[in-house]
């Protein structure tokens, strides 16, 4: 993804059989807010959402026994739905044209039929949220690596998805004729940056996404 760097209330369920759910809040490293629900065993169960620092909902869905289930909605900062993903079907139901246009990817497969027919790898979040999650790291890295930097530096957030669906991230940029690459890490206790990887015939295809 490209961007430009610049200088508790408990809920009691009837009968007791279903137990007690408790709504809680958490703050992510970018300042966005997570509202989630846990049961008496501290497992995620029920509604889950992430909101931006100005209280715009970015992500909404639900958990059952610590696993995402059903439809999850990803929103742009203007409130428009960027992506809808169904975890039961393991399928992207809808994606906004603007989001689809911003996703650039290369599949690591020599079979042209696979390259042409495989699904598009997408993060299960809007581009607005995706960039926000990495902003603080990028500012820190650029500030540390480039003491005498220009006011603006075009950078890429590169996601590498392997054949098992595991994802790693790096920051890539060029300056004064040199190419730089630095590892990026998402470490959030109450949030997982999930992906719908590229697939063909039921098999995950490794890919690089920018």
- pLDDT tens, residue by residue, 38-65: 999 999 999 999 999 999 999 999 999 9
Higher pLDDT, 194 or 143: 194
CA distance 126 to 58: 7
CA distance 10 to 21: 6
Q: What are the pLDDT digits (tens) for 75-125?
A: 999 999 999 999 999 999 999 999 999 999 999 999 999 999 999 999 999
* Cβ–Cβ under 8 Å, residues 112 and 183: no
CA distance 134 to 171: 9
Residue appearing with tokens 């470490």: 187
Write the DSSP string, 32-82. Answer: -EEEEEE-TTS-EEEEEEEE-TTS-EEEEEEEETTEEEEEEEEE-TTS-EE
Q: How confident is the model at residue 7 (pLDDT cuts 50, 70, 90)?
A: very low
Name the residue range of residue 113's domain. 2-209
pLDDT for 149: 82
Higher pLDDT, 17 or 92: 92
Residue appearing with tokens 């995706």: 130
**% of the chain surpassing 70 pLDDT:** 91
Residue appearing with tokens 């995402």: 68
The CA-atom distances, in angstroms, between 55 and each of 78, 125, 142, 205 are 11, 16, 28, 36
Residue appearing with tokens 């999650």: 133
Q: Average of pLDDT values for 11-26?
A: 69
Q: How confident is the model at residue 184 (pLDDT cuts 50, 70, 90)?
A: very high
pLDDT for 151: 80
pLDDT for 10: 45
* Cβ–Cβ under 8 Å, residues 61 and 73: yes
pLDDT for 93: 98
Q: Average of pLDDT values for 181-200?
A: 97
Q: How confident is the model at residue 23 (pLDDT cuts 50, 70, 90)?
A: very high
CA distance 91 to 72: 11
If one counts the domains in the chain, the total is: 1
pLDDT for 35: 99
pLDDT for 146: 87
């Amino acid at each position: 993804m490209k961007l430009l760097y610049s200088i508790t209330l408990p809920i009691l369920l009837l009968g007791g059989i279903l137990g007690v759910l408790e709504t809680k809040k958490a703050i992510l490293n970018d300042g966005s807010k997570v509202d989630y629900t846990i049961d008496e065993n501290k497992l995620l169960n029920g509604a889950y959402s992430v909101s931006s620092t100005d209280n715009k909902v970015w992500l909404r869905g639900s958990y059952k026994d610590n696993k995402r289930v059903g439809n999850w909605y990803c929103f742009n900062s203007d409130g428009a739905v960027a992506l809808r993903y169904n975890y039961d079907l393991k399928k992207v139901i809808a994606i906004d044209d603007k989001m689809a246009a911003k996703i650039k990817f290369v599949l690591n497969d020599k079979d042209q039929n696979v390259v042409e027919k495989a699904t598009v790898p997408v993060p299960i979040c809007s581009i607005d949220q995706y960039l926000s999650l990495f902003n603080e790291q990028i500012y820190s890295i650029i500030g540390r690596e480039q003491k005498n930097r220009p006011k603006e530096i075009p950078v890429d957030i590169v996601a590498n998805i392997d054949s098992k669906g595991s994802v790693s991230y790096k920051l890539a940029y060029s300056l004064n004729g040199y190419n730089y690459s630095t590892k990026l890490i998402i470490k959030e206790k109450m949030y997982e940056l999930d992906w719908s990887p590229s697939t063909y015939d039921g098999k995950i295809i490794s890919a690089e996404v920018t």
